[in-house]
Amino acid sequence: MEKNYLKAAKLWLGPDFDPQTREEVKRLMDSDPGELEESFYKNLEFGTGGLRGIMGTGTNRMNKYTVGMATQGVANYLKENFKDLPQIKVAISFDSRNHSAEFARITANVFAANGMKVYLFDALRPTPELSFAIRYFKCQGGVMVTASHNPKEYNGYKVYWEDGAQIIAPHDANIIGEVLKIDSPAQVKFTGGGENIEIVGEEVDKAYLEALSTLFLSPDAVKKHADMKIVYTPLHGTGVRIVPMALRKMGFTNIYGVEAQNATDGNFPTVKSPNPEESSALEMAVAEAERAGASLVMATDPDADRVGIAVRDEQGKMILLNGNQTASILTYYLLRRWKELGKLNDKTYMVKTIVTTELMAAMAKAFGVKMYNVLTGFKYIAAIVRENEGKGTFIGGGEESYGFNAGEYVRDKDAVVACCLIAECSAWCLEQGKTLYGLLQDIYNEFGYYKESLLSLTRKGKEGVEEIRNMMKRFRENPPQKLGDSPVARVMDYTRPQETGLPSSDVLQFFAQDGSVVSVRPSGTEPKIKFYFGAHGPDAAEKIKRLAEQFGA
């Protein structure tokens, strides 16, 4: 909610704030009125998953005060929700971003000062390992300090529930309500209770890797092709230790790194953006693959929950696969191997999001496996897993934004297990005289050609937020009559749960008679509006091109 930013800024000159903070507020007042307004015109929004924003001084920035106040709100909600427990427990991890370790320690201190048992990792660890740790230690909640794949200026704070998944309704709205009640650092218990903090590390690593090792399906193929050359880069993030450890535990022996990108550095000096969705992020790893003669490149984002890959095509050239293609390969591999191993039954299922390729649903149908379709966000995939506990078995699932998971140990997307399954699938392909690229072509030949594309429009600052809001309003009031040359047959507005059967979300989908689909949604983590294009059939690429032109590319 917008407020008088000058009045808000003056409050930060008071005794509740340290001298360094007060000096920075004075500097902004004297010499940078534009930044002052951006920093104080509203409170940094605690959204349905937690915090994410630019680091700096002010109510609309990630800093020790906004982190502390958010944590106090979360702590108050946990104390109310689990008031009958003798001890509330939380787990905390953090990524390689600037100030992540500091924010994690502040978060731990506030929880501890509120009388909670805190399991704090001794160094950076991936988001999926934090999810695993929550269940491992039987916690009631957890926090991952990360801004995922956002630019270096950002940091964030993801809140998890007792099942190891990010919070969903009703807890998300209820926690937001508690956070909004904390409007001053004076309300935060920043100190006390240090004895409640336990530093953890290697024990969880071992348990996590042991759990993941039970998910793999082709040990004989891995053994025969253990010397397959793999290049892996953590993009300066949390995968630096754990992904190579996992691959070696599987049996792979020829793992090449990108030395410059193994350095833990929140400035991400070797990439424009630490996002494996962007081709430039994999340039150094692809160059290393050419030097080493490797057939597979994998890159994870700073908190190691997303993975991007490059493989060799039929001419031996390294090409990048997008998130839909990788998810399709993994879906097929899991379904195929589960069937061959006699593990499929009427209780096994998979999950995808509404903006992810329909090829996954087509494959599941062919194998007689139920495919759930959920809102964008892996927390909704995790919610299906929780709903089916004791009733069904989750094979795996994913989303177009390079996130995938298999098994039920982790309740979020997991690039560690995804890297292992991609490498295992590659070995399995070699055993049959083909490559990952060849497998993808086989999938298209069997199930038809599917193509997807994503267009993201960034609109920064206060005005940008309003512009995105108005764009969504216009699409609702005046939906397109055609997608390309094909009439629109159906419109889905996900703010109407009574029609969609899913929780309310600011998403629109337009379905054409020829099977083309366009989904429109504002990003929940960045100042962007996203357009997802999907088409099916031999002319899918041409359809996608026309859709991109129609919607502004």
Q: What is the pLDDT of residue 465?
A: 83
Q: What is the pLDDT of residue 48?
A: 76
Q: What is the pLDDT of residue 524?
A: 66
pLDDT digits (tens, 9 = 90+) for 382-398: 999 999 999 999 999 99
Cα separations in angstroms, 315 against 29, 67, 437, 462, 543 = 60, 51, 11, 48, 27
The domain limits of the chain are 43-200, 208-447, 452-550
Parts of the chain with a pLDDT under 50: 1
Q: What is the pLDDT of residue 508?
A: 97
Superfamily of domain 452-550: Alpha-D-phosphohexomutase, C-terminal domain (3.30.310.50)
Token digits for 116?
């909670």
- Which CATH number is 208-447 given? 3.40.120.10
CA 351 to chain centre: 15
| Active centre residues (catalytic) | 148
- Which CATH number is 43-200 given? 3.40.120.10
Domain 43-200 and domain 452-550 have a common topology: no
Q: What is the pLDDT of residue 47?
A: 81
| d(C-alpha 262, C-alpha 247), whole Å | 16
pLDDT digits (tens, 9 = 90+) for 351-393: 999 999 999 999 999 999 999 999 999 999 999 999 999 999 9
Q: What is the pLDDT of residue 495?
A: 96
| d(C-alpha 114, C-alpha 116), whole Å | 6
Place of tokens 């950002």: 154
Q: Compute how many other C-beta atoms are within 10 angstroms of the C-beta atom of residue 20.
A: 9
The whole-model pTM stands at 0.94
Q: Which DSSP string do the residues of 533-545 spell out, in sequence order?
A: EEEESTTHHHHHH
